[in-house]
Structures are given as structure tokens and as C-alpha cells.
């Protein structure tokens, strides 16, 4: 077996677990759920470690093949989604400003408009929303593409040619999705902050553009930039790892692909929330 | 070959062959089989007898649940990076080709060259052109696999496997579903590979292992014969082939 894909031709622990007789009590059900969760975490963790190992070890291998694949992934998970993200940025600015202005008007605290935008859009909603959309548009396609490739024997074909499937299929997606998600989040945030002022202006909020952007600049800290970059790249990495894992790591038949896609999306959303919670902790402790 | 090493290419001792999609299911038991340099094996068996799994194990793509399988003297698995050069001495042609559907035919054939060699693009393009011409695929160069018939896809699989000029070639049921024209082409082409083809450096001969539903078409091409029957590998003498019914 090539470096890499855990359980590649074997039965997965999750499948083995499914064959165990159904539990009879609530504690059994709970224990089974916890055990299944641990198996998923173990599988994903092992897959992520293998992928990062391959990424580092083979960073100079087969560049003429891998570099165009990375470029293609950046286009697919970044550039191609730009129009949708610009529309979303306009909508997000309206959404946040529309709600905030009503409250701030009541207490006469328009000088907090920038702070609200930074807290809501830069720190939370922007990265989460961008990641969710990339998951929906690119992550699901990943599972289907890789699952179908797996079911049609393309992974075995790569192995027969001495090509590491992790290097060829997963590494470009991890890099492309990490960079693409980061870039799209930046676009989304800039667009939402800009459209926020537009909507505020249309709602006759008495604030000048200079004051609004000064408020934004005042609310932003150096840490925001660092954490934003780390968080969005991590979201992209999570999408790539989870979707590639479900597409590749187990022997799939064509009829298994849709179930694998649903599982991948659910697990990625949970991973986003957990990671986001960790970043909130960092903000609170910093 | 390593200095002092034997000419054995594939050695199986007491090997059990597991199914690709369920490795816990053993499809062939207790295989003792050796392929040496210059052999041309035809391994027959009915559909479902485990020919593909057997061949994938022989290529090192599966690990045996029991027994020992050595390729070029190294026990399986042989996928460590250090053994890559050794691994590339062996080519594999899948039943149906197993092509990469998002790549064109030329890109499929070029992939192993681009991945493993440092040759300039022009040199790779020339080699791909040569391989496509030899397998009569030139008119399909910029097509994708989905637009081709299964028989042509197998030829692309062959061209791709030959790209790195392997010493040993394992082919899974090349005549499966082939009409008379394609079957004749395969028999002729593999016969040339077994004796030395201009596609390979110095017109060197390739050691071949093919699987087949029916061994009779191989009677005058292959040199060694075996059949997978009732979960066992049985080596056949050439003169006993006539008594073999198609599909084992």
C-alpha cells in the first residue's frame, strides 16, 4: 500500500462498528456514539498527519505535475467563487448594519458601529460564512470527485504507477483550499465592511466615511490579522482533510458516495464550530 | 537486477489472495508460484475466480493475508519511497484501463513520465507521441477517456504502463470483451513485447503475465500457463491446454 491512505483496502473501524449488534440501553447508545466519534477523530487525525507528512516530505517531488494542480485548486476554490462572495458581502453588510443601526439609534451609540462590524464580521461571521460556502461549493464536489475516482479504481491506478495518491490528490487540495478560503474571507470581509457603510448611509446614519473607517481601524488589533489568517487557512485545511478523507480513505462503491458526502459535510461543520470556539478562547485570553 | 540476486521476479510461497473490496475474504489459497525473467505467463480462470485480485497481489498492489510474496526479492509491501525505483520496474494494465477521467488520453500517458522523470516537456511529448502511435491511439490524443470504447481504453492503459519502460508487465484480462480485431492486435503486440519491441530501450524483451477467461487464444503466444480453479492456482503443461474448456 502506498504511503498513506489509512485502511485503504481494509474494512474501516466504523464499518466494523456498524456490524456489532444494536445496543439495547441508552448508555449503550451513548457509549457507541462516543466510540464512533473517537474513531472518526482518530481516522481524521491520522489522515491529517499523513497528509502534512507527505506535504513536507515531497515538497520538491514532481513539481511540474503538482504545481499546476495547486493552481487549478486555487482557481476552483478561490477565484471562481468571487462573484458569489461579492454578492454575499453586500448582503452581509446590509444584514449586520440593518439590525445594528436600529439598536445603536435607540441608545445613541453610533460611535460603536465600527466596533460591532469588526467583532461580528471580521472575527466571527466572515470566516465562518466563507468556510461554510466553500464547503458547500468545493468540499462536496471534492468528496464526489474523489469518491467516484476511488470507486472507479483511479487510486489503484495511481499506486500502480508509483504515484502517491495523497501527494497527487490531497496535497494540492489542502494548499488550494487553505489559500482560497483565506483569500475569499478577506474579500468577503472587505466587501461587507464597505457595503456596511453604504447601507448605513442609505439609512441616514449620521456618520462620515472617515469616521466609520477610523472606528474600524480603532477596533482592529494586530492579533485580528494574525488570527484571521490562521483561522481561515485552518478552515480551508479542515475542508480539504475531511472531504478528502471521506472520498479516499475507505474503499467506496458508487452507491456509497452520497452517504460519504453527507458525513463529510456534517463533520466539517462540527469541526468549524470546535475550531471557532478555540479561537474565541484565544481572543479572550489575549 | 541486484548483483548476485536470482532471476526470480515474483515469488509466492503459501500465499492466500484476499479480495480487493473485502480483504477478509480469501479468493485463492496456498499459491506457490514463481515468475522469472523472460517468462510469458497466461493465467486463466472463470469470472469471479480471483484473477484480478491475484494479479494485483502479484503486482504488489495488495498485501497477502497469509504467506509471503516477494517482488524482485523484496517482501511486500514494497511501496516505501526507497523502493520506488524497484517498484517502477513493474507495470500494470487494469481490465478496463482505470484511466484518469479528467485528463486527456495524451495526459494520461504522460502522467507517469511527468511525475517520475526530469526530462524536458518536449522529450516527454515525443515519448507520448511514440507510445500513442504504437498503440494506434494517435487520433484520440486530445479526447477524454469517456469518449472511447472499453477496448481502446485498455490500450491507453497499456501505453501508460509502457511509458516508464517496465521490465515486467502484468495485464488483467486484455482480451476480455475484445472483438476479433482488437484480440488479434493484443496477441500480436504482446508477442512483440515478449521478444523485444522498439518502444523499449535496446528492444529489450518484457516479462509478461496476463490473465484470461480463456487460455486458448494464448496457446501460441504465452510460454507458461496456469489456471485458477476452486480457489487454487494450478500450473498447466502446454500440451494439456487443449483439454481446457473456455472459462476454465
Residue B42 above 90 pLDDT?
yes
Mean pLDDT of A200-216: 85
Confidence at B107, pLDDT banded by 50, 70, 90? very high
Q: Helix (H, G, I), strand (E, B), or coil: what is residue B61? A: coil
Assign residue A36 a region (left: φ > 0; alpha: ψ between -120 and 50; beta: otherwise).
alpha
Residues from chain A that touch B116, judged by Cβ atoms under 8 A, are 62, 162
Residues from chain B that touch A168, judged by Cβ atoms under 8 A, are 115
Burial bucket for residue A195 (CB in 10 Å: 0-12, 13-18, 19+): buried
Residue found under cell 441616514: A204
Residues from chain A that touch B27, judged by Cβ atoms under 8 A, are none
Mean pLDDT of B66-87: 82
Residue A54 domain-assigned (yes or no): no
Q: Where are the beta strands (DSSP E) in chain B?
A: 8-18, 26-36, 40-45, 66-71, 74-75, 90-93, 168-171, 207-212, 224-229, 232-236
Reduce the secondary structure of A16-56 to three states and give it as a string. HHHHCCCCCCHHHHHHHHHHHHHHHHHHHHHHHHHHHHHHH
Residue A133 domain-assigned (yes or no): yes
| pLDDT confidence of residue B73 | 85
What is the spatial distance between Cα A154 and Cα A32, in angstroms, rounded to a whole number?
34
Read off the pLDDT of residues B133-186 as tens digits, 9 standing for 90 and up. 999 999 999 999 999 999 999 999 999 999 999 999 999 999 998 999 999 999
What is the DSSP secondary-structure string of A239-276? Answer: HHHHHHHHHHSS---GGGHHHHHHHHHHHHHHHHHHHH
Mean pLDDT of A252-281: 90
CB B234 within 8 A of CB B30: no
Calculate the average pLDDT of chain B.
89
Q: Based on the structure, what is the number of domains in chain A?
A: 1
Residue found under cell 474523489: A146
Residue B98 above 50 pLDDT?
yes
Residues from chain A that touch B81, judged by Cβ atoms under 8 A, are 3, 57
Which set of grid coordinates corresponds to residue B15?
500465499
Mean pLDDT of B18-37: 88
**C-alpha atoms less than 13 angstroms from C-alpha of A3 in its C-beta half-sphere:** 23
| pLDDT confidence of residue A25 | 80
Instruction: Estimate to the nearest angstrom the gap between the alpha carbon of B237 and the chain centroid.
Output: 22
DSSP letter at B202 equals G
φ/ψ (deg, to 5) at B206: -110, 140
What is the spatial distance between Cα B55 and Cα B206, in angstroms, rounded to a whole number?
17
What's the count of helices (H) and strands (E) in chain A, helices before strands?
Answer: 13, 0
Q: What is the ipTM of this complex?
A: 0.89
DSSP letter at B49 equals S
Cα of A31 to nearest chain B Cα, Å: 27
Read off the pLDDT of residues A69-116 as tens digits, 9 standing for 90 and up. 999 999 998 888 999 999 999 999 888 888 888 888 788 777 788 888
Instruction: Break chain B into its structural domains and give their ranges.
Output: 1-89+166-194+204-237, 91-165
* Residue in B161, B181, B163, B174 with CA at minimum distance from that of residue B221: B174
Read off the pLDDT of residues B171-190 as tens digits, 9 standing for 90 and up. 999 999 899 999 999 999 99
* Residue in B81, B27, B80, B30 with CA at minimum distance from that of residue B54: B27
Q: Do B92 and A160 lie within an 8 Å CB cutoff?
A: yes
Please give the residue range of the domain that contains residue A130.
Answer: 62-285
The residue with greater pLDDT, B245 or A31, is A31
| Cβ atoms within 10 Å of A172's Cβ, excluding its own | 22
CB A69 within 8 A of CB A168: yes
CB A133 within 8 A of CB A81: yes
> What does the radius of gyration of chain A's CA atoms come to, in whole angstroms?
22
Mean pLDDT of A118-128: 90
Cα of B239 to nearest chain A Cα, Å: 34
| Residues sharing a CB contact under 8 Å with residue A25, sequence separation 6 or more, in sequence order | none
Protein fold of B1-89+166-194+204-237: Rossmann fold (3.40.50)
Confidence at A5, pLDDT banded by 50, 70, 90? very low
Assign residue B231 a region (left: φ > 0; alpha: ψ between -120 and 50; beta: otherwise).
left
Cα of B155 to nearest chain A Cα, Å: 14
Q: Do B115 and A160 lie within an 8 Å CB cutoff?
A: no
DSSP letter at B218 equals G
What is the spatial distance between Cα B99 and Cα A153, in angstroms, rounded to a whole number?
8
Q: Do A11 and B116 lie within an 8 Å CB cutoff?
A: no
Amino acid at each position: 500500500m502506498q504511503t498513506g491512505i489509512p485502511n485503504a483496502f481494509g474494512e474501516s473501524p466504523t464499518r466494523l462498528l456498524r456490524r456489532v449488534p444494536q445496543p439495547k440501553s441508552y448508555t449503550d447508545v451513548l457509549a457507541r456514539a462516543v466510540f464512533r466519534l473517537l474513531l472518526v477523530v482518530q481516522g481524521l487525525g491520522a489522515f491529517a498527519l499523513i497528509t502534512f507528512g507527505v506535504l513536507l516530505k515531497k515538497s520538491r517531488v514532481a513539481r511540474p505535475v503538482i504545481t499546476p494542480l495547486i493552481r487549478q485548486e486555487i482557481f476552483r476554490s478561490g477565484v471562481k467563487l468571487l462573484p458569489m462572495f461579492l454578492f454575499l458581502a453586500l448582503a452581509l453588510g446590509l444584514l449586520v448594519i440593518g439590525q445594528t443601526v436600529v439598536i445603536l439609534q435607540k441608545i445613541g451609540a453610533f460611535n460603536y458601529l465600527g466596533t460591532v462590524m469588526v467583532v461580528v464580521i471580521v472575527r466571527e461571521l466572515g470566516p465562518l460564512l466563507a468556510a461554510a460556502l466553500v464547503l458547500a461549493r468545493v468540499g462536496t464536489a471534492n468528496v464526489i470527485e474523489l469518491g467516484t475516482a476511488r470507486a472507479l479504481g483511479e487510486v489503484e491506478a495511481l499506486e500502480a504507477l508509483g504515484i502517491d495518491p495523497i501527494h497527487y490528490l490531497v496535497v494540492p487540495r489542502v494548499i488550494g483550499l487553505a489559500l482560497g478560503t483565506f483569500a475569499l474571507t478577506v474579500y468577503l470581509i472587505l466587501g461587507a465592511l464597505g457595503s456596511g457603510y453604504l447601507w448605513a448611509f442609505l439609512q441616514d446614519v449620521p456618520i462620515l466615511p472617515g469616521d466609520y473607517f477610523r472606528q474600524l481601524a480603532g477596533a482592529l488589533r494586530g492579533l485580528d490579522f494574525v488570527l484571521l489568517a490562521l483561522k481561515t487557512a485552518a478552515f480551508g485545511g479542515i475542508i480539504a482533510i475531511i472531504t478528502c478523507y471521506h472520498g479516499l480513505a475507505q474503499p467506496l462503491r458508487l452507491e456509497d458516495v452520497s452517504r460519504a458526502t453527507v458525513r463529510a459535510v456534517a463533520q466539517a461543520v462540527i469541526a468549524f464550530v470546535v475550531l471557532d470556539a478555540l479561537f474565541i478562547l484565544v481572543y479572550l485570553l489575549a | 537486477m541486484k548483483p548476485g540476486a536470482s532471476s526470480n521476479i515474483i515469488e509466492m510461497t503459501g500465499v492466500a489472495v484476499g479480495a480487493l473490496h473485502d480483504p477478509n475474504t480469501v479468493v485463492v489459497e496456498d499459491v506457490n508460484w514463481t515468475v522469472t525473467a523472460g517468462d510469458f505467463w497466461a493465467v486463466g480462470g472463470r469470472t469471479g475466480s480471483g484473477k484480478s485480485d491475484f494479479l494485483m497481489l502479484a503486482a504488489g498492489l495488495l498485501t497477502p493475508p497469509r504467506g509471503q510474496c516477494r517482488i524482485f526479492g523484496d517482501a511486500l509491501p514494497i511501496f516505501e519511497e526507497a523502493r520506488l525505483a524497484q517498484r517502477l520496474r513493474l507495470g500494470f494494465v487494469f481490465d478496463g484501463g482505470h484511466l484518469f477521467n479528467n485528463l486527456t488520453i495524451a495526459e494520461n500517458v504522460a502522467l507517469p513520465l511527468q511525475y517520475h522523470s526530469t526530462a524536458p516537456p518536449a522529450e516527454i511529448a515525443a515519448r507520448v507521441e511514440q507510445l500513442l502511435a504504437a498503440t494506434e491511439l494517435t487520433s484520440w490524443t486530445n479526447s477524454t477517456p469517456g469518449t472511447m470504447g472499453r477496448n481502446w481504453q485498455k490500450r491507453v492503459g497499456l501505453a501508460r504502463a509502457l511509458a516508464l519502460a517496465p521490465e515486467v508487465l502484468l495485464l488483467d484480462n486484455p482480451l476480455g470483451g475484445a472483438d476479433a480485431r482488437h484480440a488479434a492486435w493484443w496477441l500480436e503486440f504482446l508477442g512483440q513485447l515478449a521478444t523485444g519491441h522498439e518502444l523499449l530501450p535496446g528492444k529489450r524483451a518484457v516479462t509478461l503475465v496476463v490473465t484470461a477467461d480463456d487460455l486458448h487464444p494464448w496457446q501460441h503466444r504465452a510460454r507458461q500457463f496456469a489456471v485458477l480453479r476452486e480457489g487454487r492456482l494450478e500450473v498447466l503443461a502446454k500440451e494439456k491446454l487443449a483439454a481446457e474448456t473456455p472459462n476454465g
